[in-house]
Chains A and B, each alone.
Chain A
Amino acid sequence: MATTLAPTVPPRARRHGSRRGLKGYLFVAPFLVFFAAAFIAPLGYAAYLSLFRSRLVGGTVFAGLQNYRDVVHDAAFRDGVLRMARFLITQVPAMLVLAVVFALAIDSGRLWAPRFVRLSIFLPYAVPSVVAALMWGYLYGPTFGPITQTAHHLGVSAPNLLSDRWMLPSIGNIVTWEFVGYNMIIFYAALRTIPPERYEAAAVDGAGAVRTAVHIKLPALRPALALTAIFSIIGTFQLFTEPSVMSTVAPSAIDRSYTPSLYAYNLAFTDQRLNYAAALSFAMGAVIVLVTAVFVLAASRRRS
């Protein structure tokens, strides 16, 4: 069959190939149209806006990179970025370590009711972050909150979790609660793809559960770890919902520039400083890309 078809196939395939090329555009075009409309165009428009500034007298004038210069020297923006950096180096590692530990525990086959454990840890991901923040806001409540009540019953005094000092860890706890399960599922999925032969080889070598985890499972988690770390970096720098909801419960602990995105929001919608808000959004994007790039470089250097 192959021999009889052989002479006719190449030209037909080539003709098909070029036609299929055009068909390829047909398939990707709908997405790319929306992508251009809701992604490229807004970014382009905001980039354009960020080069202008409006004055009380004289209207909107071209300002070149002046807005960006102002952002760089904006203490409120810098404080927000530094606060998120502190969040990044504490909350993200804690969350990812917990997620890895849970995934290893479930994958080890040594748990009773592993399905129940997995689902319970994943469940908070189904809770909208607004609801998570509202709920924890009540739980943290310094007078009626169950945490304070429990501490009171035990005869110890709980710190005011909604105070200035505790706000960042309190928000960190909410984010951890929400996303440990999501990250755990990613790690667990990665662990399930390890071929059984590798475990058998390890067993033959007499490796115990811990050594198997360290030498076979952890290396297999590396791509997933890189992915989750990148998503966490992106998520951290755009923290908005939790501080925004918490600011209604504890207005004194969260100011208008507590996080960069809260600041961008207030600039754009409270102050109506759209041009400056556009520049600040780009600066925020630049910080995220920069931190992500540094992370990716560091991770790939360690691997090689």
Chain B
Amino acid sequence: MRAAAAVPAPRARVAVRVNLRAVIRRRSVPLTVAMFVCVAYFLLPLLWLVIASTKSDSGLFHSFGFSVRLDDFRLWQNVRDVFTYGNGQYARWLLNTIFYAVASAGGAAALATVGGYGFAKFDFVGKRAAFGVVVVSIMVPGIALAIPIYLLFAKIGIVNTPLSIIVPSLVSPFGIYLMRVYAADAVDDSLLEAARIDGAGELRIFAQIALRLLAPGIVTVVLFTLVATWNNYFLPFIMLNNPNLFPVTVGLAQWNAQASGGGGAQAVFSLVITGSLVSVVPLAVAFLFLQRYWQSGLSAGSVKT
């Protein structure tokens, strides 16, 4: 600060000092405390899930939910049980989920990127009508659609296959809407014109120029479809009845029904709880690292409507 005083720009120096003080003064302790109370509402259930995963079945029901008992710390044992129960079906469900999510997200993002770019940067007959139908279809409830998809897929004989999960997930009307908005902004028309005058073909222009500019938008669409497929329950629930094809959500719900029904010889409450925790971890980690992409994509989608 002292050194800054020697700089011959008094007005700027004052501004800096005021800003620093202003930033510190602006921080509000009451508001922060109030927000931390709210944060507890969001984190406590997850904390409970972590703590409950360290307990045995009897510990689950005979100790306070949020107390950790070191004499009954069975987290690793529980995780091992989750992966070995029923011939390791959980590992299979997890792999299925990863496969469905990656295939759906990759495919949906590819279709949305190419299509969104097409809608944003080209004029062709029927464009307005086609895009209008796509936008309206954002409103069509997924569940009202899932039963018709089931009926059609049953007719052509692809229910109870991975295709029945992946094909419907490839179509993301919101994704293509987002990519159109994003491409209109991020890819400069004059850049495309310049490349065309240089004689580059449209596919080359897309692959070598546009794709790079679209990258942040693509990541956003990948994240959306990845989460949507990872978390999807209804579609696999109605499409699949072969447990070997279940994603982890359907598998966990089935374990839970078993536990609540009390049918199984082995008590499986701790399996359900630890299995839930394991299924949450990959996405939670991805969220922490990819958070800024959510924001950029969401602002593109929400502000420019």
Contact = CB atoms under 8 A, between A and B. Distances in A.
A112 B115 contact: no
B130 interface: yes
Given A34-B111, A43-B145, A238-B141, A24 B31 contact: no
B142 interface: yes
A43 B145 CA distance: 7
Contact of A39 (B28, B48, B171): B171
A226 interface: yes
B152 interface: yes
Contact of B176 (A31, A112, A119, A127): A31
A128 B249 contact: yes
Contacts of B149: 38, 42
B42 A121 contact: yes
A109 interface: yes
Contact of A34 (B143, B167, B196, B230): B167
Interface in A63-107: 98, 102, 105-106
Interface string B255-280: 01100110000000000110010011
A278 B42 CA distance: 38
A119 B291 CA distance: 8
Given A241-B234, A248-B260, A277-B147, A120 B43 contact: yes
A63 B221 CA distance: 43
A62 interface: no
Contacts, number: 296
Interface string B199-232: 0001000100000000000000000000100110
Given A128-B233, A149-B64, A23 B202 contact: yes
A25 B144 contact: no
B68 interface: no
Interface residues of B, number: 101
If over half of A's interface residues share one DSSP class (helix, strand or loop), that class is named, otherwise mixed; here it is helix
B64 A146 contact: yes
A129 B231 contact: yes
Contact of A49 (B52, B137, B151, B283): B151
Q: How large is the interface on A (under 10, 10 to 19, 20 to 34, 35 or more residues)?
A: 35 or more
A39 B176 CA distance: 14
Given A112-B27, A126-B284, A149-B65, A138 B52 contact: yes
Nearest to B134: A35
Contact of B287 (A17, A46, A122, A223): A122
Nearest to B28: A110
A24 B122 CA distance: 5
Interface in A244-291: 244-245, 248-249, 261, 264-265, 268-269, 274, 277-278, 281-282, 284-285, 288-289
A278 B151 contact: yes
A227 B302 contact: yes
Interface in B114-141: 114-115, 117-119, 121-125, 127, 130, 134, 137, 139-141
A109 B27 CA distance: 7
Given A23-B202, A38-B167, A285-B144, 14 more contacts: A20-B123, A27-B122, A35-B173, A39-B137, A49-B151, A111-B28, A113-B32, A119-B288, A135-B46, A146-B65, A181-B42, A227-B305, A244-B253, A289-B139
26 contacts: A17-B123, A26-B118, A34-B111, A117-B35, A120-B43, A123-B43, A123-B284, A125-B227, A125-B287, A128-B283, A130-B231, A134-B273, A135-B273, A138-B273, A146-B65, A149-B65, A185-B294, A189-B295, A189-B302, A189-B303, A192-B295, A224-B303, A234-B141, A238-B141, A265-B147, A284-B144
Interface of B: 23, 26-29, 31-32, 34-36, 38-39, 41-43, 45-46, 48-49, 52, 60-61, 64-66, 110-112, 114-115, 117-119, 121-125, 127, 130, 134, 137, 139-145, 147-152, 155, 167-168, 170-171, 173, 176, 196, 202, 206, 227, 230-231, 233-234, 237-238, 248-250, 252-253, 256-257, 260-261, 272-273, 276, 279-280, 283-284, 286-288, 291, 294-296, 298-299, 301-303, 305
